[in-house]
Amino acid sequence: MPSHLLAIGAPERLAALRTALPATALAAVAVLEDGGFEAWCVGGFVRDALLGRPIHDVDVATNARWQEAQRLFAEAGCATHETGVAHGTLTVMVGGEPIEVTTYRVDGAYRDGRHPDAVSFAGSIEEDLARRDFTVNAMAFHPSRGLLDPFGGQADLTAGILRTVGDPRERFAEDALRILRGCRFASQLGFALEEAAWAAAVSQKSLLARVSAERIFHELDGLLRGEHVHDALLGTADALSFVLPELVAMQGFPQATPYHIYDVLEHTAWAVQHVPPEPLLRWAALCHDMGKPAAAFTGPDGVGHFYGHAAVSVELARGLLGRLKAPTALREGVLTLVRRHDDVVEPTPRSVKRMLRRLGGDPALFRALCALKRADALAQAPRCAPRARLADELAELLDAVLAADEAFSLAQLAVDGRDVLALGVSPGPQVGAALQAALDAVIDEQVPNDPAALQAFLADWLARQ
Ligand code: ATP
Ligand code: MG
């Protein structure tokens, strides 16, 4: 038995791993071992279980080839999917849960910095762990054999350090995505990259040019949703700047106004931290003030102003979300929130309905806007805290508007295009314009939302055109 296996630790750690291990993963290991192979639970499961964090999936590594694993699981009555068999990965359905089973492997050279030129299967779990990115991700656990930790992952977990397995320069040159994985784990775990790893991340960030937009987006999305995102954004900005060059102008850009105590980047980092960890809100918070450095000017009073910055932020956000191939629905939602984040919404039903109208009548987007406004206020000077309460008030008003079934979109209006045509208007843009005017009048509480009153309003409006 290898010595590091004997050195494994504290019984309470093993107990934590045993408790956290889902029955489905235990069953998958048993199927492989009853079939005469060896299997270990690896990756994020071991790390997260030792940290006492929630477990979301368990990866299993084995010396069985995928065809052998497929045969054993079929015999055990489990469906399998050939999701990544070129890399030795089979997805196995155990008790309705997917488990990724991967043959021990060593990756060949990465000439393109993106894909291993060849994947060769390895004879031992130790070789397989050696190809993994960080020591905290390079441990294996077996329900009866215990914890295998050849690279000091436990010590780094305790110290909160992300250290690469082997020379960071070589490991990042093999696959530059690991630079962003490091930044993402810093945000999720609150860890810091070890000194040499950080130096390599910063000096080799341009290698990220070889990595696909989708993989970059995935890591940045994980980073933004991390619990420690404020610290991670500020702490890793110099590595992120190759994929998010927009951060550079924000870094250290002063906001010499009475409302702000932070530079644009730190204000942004706080705003991201203060919105709930959903992609729409986190990306919108990241982008909301991105246009400030370009929009800034100093007035004759010596005070800095940022008029029109939301429009510049929209353009920068459009560029970066397009470049990163972000999903279309996310892109559209983020651009709308960024465009509207600084619009004044009074705490009145009328003002709330007007904003709802500008948001295409989407109450979920309105709630997101309230969350963004709230976080934006909390990320400013303490004197702006009342504006956070205003955002909460707007959310309450929204509930009241929805409960009262008040009209804020054309679909809810008591008249439609046929009513306008019936007044002698020919089909064309004037029909829409008349309905918009009617909706404005209803939102402004000049006309009640009933057919007779609105028909009278329309007749009058058309006569004035
Ligand atoms: P999470 O699932 O929480 O994102 P994870 O650590 O499980 O974290 P995965 O992307 O699921 O991350 O990968 C599983 C394991 O595979 C990792 O723990 C790591 O050991 C290894 N791994 C993943 N991507 C890489 C990579 N680019 N280079 C080296 N090893 C990697
Ligand atoms: Mg995982």
Write the pLDDT tens digit of every residue in 349-363.
999 999 999 998 899
Rounded Cα gap, residues 270 and 266, in angstroms: 6
Q: What's the CA-to-centroid distance between 251 and ligand 1, angstroms?
A: 30
- Residues with Cβ–ion distance below 5 A, ligand 2: 44
Tell me: pLDDT of 76 over 90.
Answer: yes
- Give the model confidence (pLDDT) of 134-158 as tens digits: 999 999 999 999 999 999 999 999 9
The whole-number pLDDT of residue 114 equals: 59
Residue 59 Cβ inside 6 Å of ligand 1? The answer reads yes
Name which residue sits closest to atom 1 of ligand 1, judged by CA: 44
Residue nearest to atom 7 of ligand 1 (CA): 44
Distance 99 CA to ligand 2 centre (A): 10
Render pLDDT for 380-396 as a digit per residue (tens, 0 to 9). 878 878 889 999 999 99
pLDDT of residue 3: 37
Ligand 1: does its nearest atom lie under 6 Å from the Cβ of 363? no
pLDDT band at 24 (very low <50, low <70, confident <90, very high): very high
Q: Does residue 5 have a pLDDT over 90?
A: no
CB burial class (10 A; 0-12, 13-18, 19+) of residue 364?
exposed
CA 409 vs CA 240, 360, 413, 420: distances in Å: 41, 7, 7, 17
- pTM (2 d.p.): 0.92
* CA-proximal residue: ligand 1, atom 15 (nearest): 43
Give which of 163, 252, 188 is closest to 54, Cα–Cα. 188
Query: Does ligand 1 lie within 6 Å of residue 132's CB atom?
Result: yes
Q: What is the pLDDT of residues 91-123, one digit of tens each?
A: 999 999 999 999 999 876 666 655 666 778 888
- CA 372 to centroid of ligand 1, rounded, Å: 31
118-123, long-range: CB within 8 Å, 24+ apart, which pairs?
119/86, 119/87, 119/88, 121/65, 121/88, 123/63
Bridge partners (DSSP) listed for residue 91: 81, 100
In the predicted structure, residue 421 carries a pLDDT above the cut 60: yes
Ligand 1 contact via 140 beta carbon (within 6 Å): no
Could you give the CA distance from residue 136 to residue 193 in angstroms, rounded to a whole number? 12
pLDDT in tens, 29-61: 999 999 999 999 999 999 999 999 999 889 999
Q: For the chain, what is the radius of gyration of the CA atoms?
A: 28
pLDDT for position 107: 78
Ligand 1 centroid to residue 166 C-alpha, Å: 16
Ligand 1 closest atom vs CA 184: 4
Q: Which ligand is nearest to the CA of 44?
A: 1
Residue 109 has a pLDDT of: 62
Among left, alpha and beta (phi > 0; psi -120 to 50; other), residue 244 is beta
From CA 237, how far away is CA 216, in angstroms rounded?
15
The CA distance from 88 to 105, in Å, is: 8
Pairing mode of beta strands 140-142, 97-103: unpaired
Phi, psi of 152 (to 5 degrees): 80, 30
* 278 Cα–ligand 2 center, Å: 19
pLDDT in tens, 246-299: 999 999 998 877 777 889 999 999 999 999 999 999 999 999 999 999 999 988
Mean residue pLDDT of the chain comes to 93
CB atoms inside a 10 Å sphere around CB 362 = 14
Question: Of 377, 390, 389, nearest to 260 (Cα)?
Answer: 377
Residue 184 has pLDDT above 80, yes or no: yes
